[in-house]
Amino acid sequence: MTKTILITGASSGLGAEMARQFAALGHDLALCARRTERLEELRSELESDHEGIRVAVRALDVTDHDAVFETFRSFRDELGRIDRVVVNAGLGKGARLGTGRFDANLATAMTNFVGALAQTEAAMEIFRAQESGHLVMVSSMSALRGMPGSITTYAATKAGVASLAEGVRADLYGTKLQKRVKVTVLYPGYIRSEMNEKVDQGTPLMASTEKGVRAMVSAIEKEVADACVPPLPWAALAPVMRHAPLPVLKRLI
């Protein structure tokens, strides 16, 4: 069944590859990001490769909260409905706390959590009006445990994103929307993208963009509640990351 899927942060990396793979499945797309030239190139590519799909694009900075609501509503008006929203836009920069880079940590917090809150609000507004929809939150394996060094704030924002999604699910439980509005939380491990380009690209844990996103899209299409992606090795590592003593965790990461 064809769905209309809105993806934020769709101009590159995981967002752009999700758009490609969803287009290959025949879905219509609403794509937004700050870099409109890349979005236009992606739209041309998708429409050329997949005849008959609809692709709408908009410029959006998710820290402009009014614009988030306006953009989501305009996509719905143009395409008729929004069946799925993938809250994907994010930043990976940061610094060890107390080292004078509050600006970097604040930017990450505002984009990854407050921006995600605005996207969730805008998505749920549409889903409540439609009485159906699928909210997908892109968290991170780093959300499973407080992380040291430059990713402390990043990990905290991704834990917040996961908790926000769980809160939506709990809020819907026992209401008429429980079975009609689905919530999925994805916990990606190392997947090659612009965001993690500073991570050692030769690590055996690093999945290619195509492979990693294939696992994400598969989980989304199944509408699972949550998934570590790719499943191997991350599903096996999840309980270790959650429960290992801190000295062991520090050696692992």
**CB-hemisphere CA count at 13 Å for 49?**
16
Kindly list the strands in the beta sheet with 181-188, ordered across the sheet, starting from the edge strand earlier in the chain: 55-59, 28-33, 4-8, 84-87, 133-138, 181-188, 226-229
Give the torsion through C-alpha atoms of 190, 2, 4, 178, to 10 deg: -80
Find all residues with CB under 8 Å of 19, minimum gap 6, and list them.
7, 10, 29, 31, 42, 46, 55
Token reading at 132 = 């159906």
Separation of alpha carbons 170 and 161, rounded Å: 14
Q: How many CB atoms lie within 10 A of CB 5?
A: 25
Look up 154 and say whether it is catalytic.
yes
> What number of residues does the chain have?
253
Place of tokens 């509503």: 73
154, 173, 187, 190: the catalytic one is 154
Active site residues: 154
